[in-house]
Structure 1
Amino acid sequence: MTEVKKPKRTLASIATIVAVATLISKVFGLVRQQAIAAAFGVGPAFDAYTYAYVIPGFLLILLGGINGPFHSAIVSVLAKRKPEEAAPLVETITTFVGGILLLVTIGLIIFANPLIDVVAPGLTTTPEGEVIRAIAIQQFRIMAPMALLAGLIGIGFGTLSSADQYWLPSISPLFSSVTVIVGIGILVLQFGRDIIQPQYALMGGLVLAWGTLAGAILQWLVQVVAQWKSGLGTLRLRFDFNQPAVKEVMNIMGPATFSSGMMQINVYTDLFFASFIPQTASALGYAGLLVQTPLGILSNMLLVPLLPVFSRLATPNHWPELKGRIRQGIILTALTMLPLGALIIALAVPIVRVVYERGAFDPEASQFVAPMLMAYGVGMFVYLGRDVLVRVFYALGDGQTPFRISVANIILNAVLDFLLINTFGAPGLVLATVGVNFVSMIALLMILHRRMNGLPLREWTGPIVSLTAASFVAGVVSWGLLQVCEYFWGTEGFFIQLSELTLSGIIGLGVFALIAAQLKLPEVDVFVGRVRQKFGR
């Protein structure tokens, strides 16, 4: 017997909770990356960590992330059931998933050497690469238990979200950042600036690995305590794998995991090519975090509150309202991601310099990372737009369609990597991912259009085109103002760079806001009304 539960909070209140918690978590993540950049730059310790983190880290993102397949599957099923059904179901899923991932963890430890060679074959071609490979293997073995922790964390995210608890899941990733920062701090206190020397690369690499693992353990432990207190399950082992609710979770979780896993294969493909270009892996990591910080905040604001709504509107008699929610998700994505991407493209160099340029991270490193950040900015809208549509399929109980599209995109990504890296160099790897996400988003829209008896695609296209044009104008204004500032104030000095970046960014956003306000979109009106309400109090 199932029961459709009404939301206890409005979408706005959920989005606010998630935004604040995620912002705090992302700020700590950014500080962690700044500490890594200052301590290691684009040297062997962080280069090795980037390769070693590929599999355990991607499992943490894939299985343990908010909006990941485990989170989505648990929320989609528990949102339709009575509260008393939650604990037995969660314990059964935890038993099943934990057993599988424990075997995966053991396999990762045993096969660390060949797995690193698969991830980064280019490391064996140079003496410097061999040093990086040796460090990466040790880091990989240390972080292997994150495979098990990833699944447990993902289940915890979904369980707490289904019980209307959003604060803890959104803020708990900061533990990983804190443990890494503490480890680097201890290392710096002991060795000072000498840690940038090659002989300390192994020690620095081990600190990064142990700090990351410790953070994942803490992240899981705080969730376990919250679940116990809320009566949402303990560590009790349950083997009732045949109950209908378990099968329903697995029907969503299995294909969704493979679908998201296909995306990680695309990332691996990028790193495969990156391993042949020195320092590219580190640069991808630094640039990626600068994009993932705002993208993660806005993604959680949009997807976390919308997913239960999509699930409650999944039956055909609710499809008219579901279509309205899909439009809301896509237009809000365009409203936030398009101007943000335009400003990132226009202001990439000062952004990298202000955030990272200190210690071992010098101006040359900034010039190497900035073009990759620009490439990431190009694809922010399609990245998040694709995620919105994937969650609609999960709500409809269909994990197979996103999976099939992701499988097809593996080939497309490899082809684009090969073509674009020859044309654009290292940034071509990012542009290839942008192309894959664009194709995925269009394919998902077309399938939904047929399945739901037509979507008002022409009606949706107009606002997106208008917001794109407004974002382009905002980016041009920001870039032009930056050139003027640099002409009169120069480009050296942290506070000068920060002032130029802040002024150019604020003016650019102001221009976008003025244009967007004239479009008379409901989403813009709602956003502006809430801002006025907050400041009018």
Structure 2
Amino acid sequence: MKLTKKSVKSNLHFLKGKLNHQFIKNVITVGLVSLLIKALGFYKELVIAQNFGLSEILDTFLIAILIPGFISTVFLSSYRNVFIPNYISELKQKGNIKSFQATSFLVTISLGLFFILVSYLFSDVYLEIFFAGHTESYYNLIKLQLHYILPCLIFWAISSLLTGLLNIDNEYFFASFGSLFMTLSIIICLIFFKEVLKEKVLAVGMLIGSFLDLLFLIGVSLKRKIIHIGRPDFKSDNIRILIKQVPAKISSSLINGLNPIVDQYFSAQLIVGSIAALNYGLKIPAFIIGLIGIALGNVLLPYFSSQAVENHQKTYKLLQKMLLYNFIGCTILALGLILFSEPIVSLVYERNAFKPEDTQIVYRVQQMYLLQIPFYVLGMIMNRYLTAINKNNFLVITSTVSLLLNIILNFILVKAMGLYGLALGTSIVSLINTVIIYIYIKRLNSLQNV
């Protein structure tokens, strides 16, 4: 699309007309709260860096949270994302809200319990397959932390749906505080209880904080009177549509969730500290992506869901404008961060156990990850759009292609560039994935207008 002064004004006028005051207010609210949470999260990373640097304890903790985090992203968040558009349909049709909520909570809690059991029973097998070649004490350290983290799955399951309900109810301010207490808990445990908790300090901090996050969300939900629990009903029309969409959404998220595991696997084959270096290098790009993604993503899914029910074509036009201006803004941002990557890493991390030589590794990893920012954000926006219109099946295809590309690129780029190749491969995969989804959406819209 050719940009002229006239077209820019026209597009901005279109966006202003379509994005009502409440939508913009919600995006700004979520963005500001997320900025606060992310800033606190960065402070947490500083405290962790000061205490552990690129150490074995940090490596094992990151491995320990990999599977619980994977389960939360793949199964719990996927169900919530499919829950939102179909719950909105149930609301508009004045259906049985109590049964809908009860069914959804039952499913997510059951998933949480099931995966706690599976993770506990098969942790040895998982470690032997993906992280072979380490000492027995290394594996014991992973399992010790994992056993403290696993109960978080139940807390995350309930918190996930409560956040979805709050977003549907236009409560974005308090809903955005979801991870506040977990971050604070980890910081407090590191500062005051490190000597007592020792190698368990990060895992225990996560467990306590996750429970406090859940209590906070329950309190906000009860105050807004949005929890309505009745008898579960798996036969209602919208529940049936939801259940049909869940396998596709979970499959897509499952395949996407394998990418960090693949990267962890390849980095584990390198020298000790590689996993931690990859983690530090991803922090700032993840901060930017998370801030934009949370601010837009949390608001876009219920917004797209509501708009698509009323007028699909106008929703598609709105999507096109959003993609254009987000691409321009995110590209400028990414280039600026790449240019100043080294001083940023030095300023943020370089103290105590984190040495200047660590900075030289991490900032290059960070540059490779920063390349993905515009493509990741655009992919996230289009992902929300497809989920809102219940077109999750195609996301399974793109996720599969991305995973295969990630594996292939890791083999090629690790040999050529070492650790930096892993980060570059992630950015290339993000670019290709975004292009594929965009082509599909354009084709889908063309077919609907025939």
**Is TM (by shorter chain) over 0.5?**
yes
Correspondence for 2:389: 396
The question of whether the paired residues in 1 share the 8 Å contact of 2:73 and 2:253 is answered with no
Give the match's secondary structure for 2:380.
helix
- Is the Cα contact below 8 Å between 1:49 and 1:205 reproduced in 2? no
Segments of structure 2 that go 5 or more residues without pairing to the other structure are: 1-17
2: CA distance, partners of 1:329 / 1:58: 29
Higher deviation after alignment, 225-234 or 351-360:
225-234
Equivalent in 30, 34, 39 of residue 42 of structure 2: 30
Q: What is the Cα deviation at residue 63 of structure 1?
A: 4.8
Aligned residue number for residue 97 of structure 1:
108
Distance 1:62 1:177, change over 3 A: farther
2:53 to 31, 41, 46: 41
Pick from 354, 375, 394: which aligns with 1:382?
Answer: 375
Return the alpha-carbon distance in structure 1 between the equivalents of residues 156 and 388 of structure 2.
Answer: 22
TM-score normalised by length of structure 1:
0.75
Structure with higher Rg: it is: 1
Tell me, in whole angstroms, the C-alpha distance in 2 between the residues paired with 1:15 and 1:152.
Answer: 24
- Establish whether residue 106 from structure 1 lines up as the match of residue 117 from structure 2: yes
Q: Give the partner amino acid of 1:447.
A: Y
The answer to whether 1:168 aligns with 2:170 is no
Q: Is the 8 A contact 1:421 1:429 kept in 2?
A: yes
Matched, 1:70 2:79: yes
SS of 1:181's equivalent?
Answer: helix
* Counterpart check, 1:313 vs 2:324: no
Structure of higher RCO (CA pairs closer than 8 Å, 6+ residues apart)? 2
Residue of structure 1 equivalent to 2:64:
52
Q: Which residue of 1 aligns with 2:207?
A: 213
Q: CA deviation at 1:259?
A: 0.9
Matched, 1:330 2:343: no
Residue 347 (structure 1) aligned to one of 340, 347, 358:
340
Alpha-carbon distance in 2 for matches of 1:42, 1:286: 9
Q: In 1, are the aligned partners of 2:88 and 2:168 still within 8 Å (CA)? A: yes
Q: Which secondary structure state, in structure 1, belongs to the residue aligned with residue 331 of structure 2?
A: helix
CA contact (8 A) 1:38 1:359 kept: yes
Match of 1:15 among 13, 24, 27: 27
Aligned to 1:425, which of 418, 428, 441? 418
Contact 2:30 2:176 in 1 (8 A): yes
Unaligned runs of 5+ in 1: 1-5, 192-202, 456-537
Please report how far the alpha carbon of residue 95 of structure 1 lies from its aligned counterpart in structure 2 after TM superposition.
0.9
Contact 2:413 2:421 in 1 (8 A): yes
Q: Which residue of 2 aligns with 1:222?
A: 216
Q: State the 1:21 CA deviation.
A: 1.1
Q: Out of 373-382 and 322-331, give the one that drifted further.
A: 322-331
Question: Which of 117, 121, 127 lines up with 1:116 in the alignment?
Answer: 127
Residues 87 and 232 in structure 1, CA contact (< 8 A), matched pair in contact too: no
Kindly provide the amino acid, as one letter, of the partner of residue 234 in structure 2. F
Name the SS of the counterpart of 1:152 in structure 2.
helix
How does 1:110-189 map onto structure 2 within 5 Å?
110-121=121-132, 123-124=133-134, 127=135, 130-187=136-193
Q: Which amino acid aligns with 1:90?
A: Q
Read off the aligned partner of 1:253 and give its amino acid letter: V
Match of 2:446 among 441, 444, 453: 453
Amino acid at match of 1:211: G
Deviation at 1:353, TM superposition (A): 1.0
TM-score (norm 2): 0.89
Give the C-alpha shift of residue 454 in structure 1: 7.3
Tell me, in whole angstroms, the C-alpha distance in 2 between the residues paired with 1:22 and 1:420.
Answer: 34
Check whether the contact 2:88–2:305 (CA below 8 A) recurs between aligned residues: yes
Tell me whether 106-115 or 84-93 shows the greater mean CA deviation. Answer: 84-93
String of CA shifts for 1:316-372, please: whole Å, max 9, x gaps: x82331222212321232133212211221111111111111111111111111111
Residues 119 and 144 of structure 1: CA distance in aligned 2, closer, same or farther (over 3 Å): farther
Q: Secondary structure at the match of 2:308?
A: coil
Shift of 1:110: 2.1
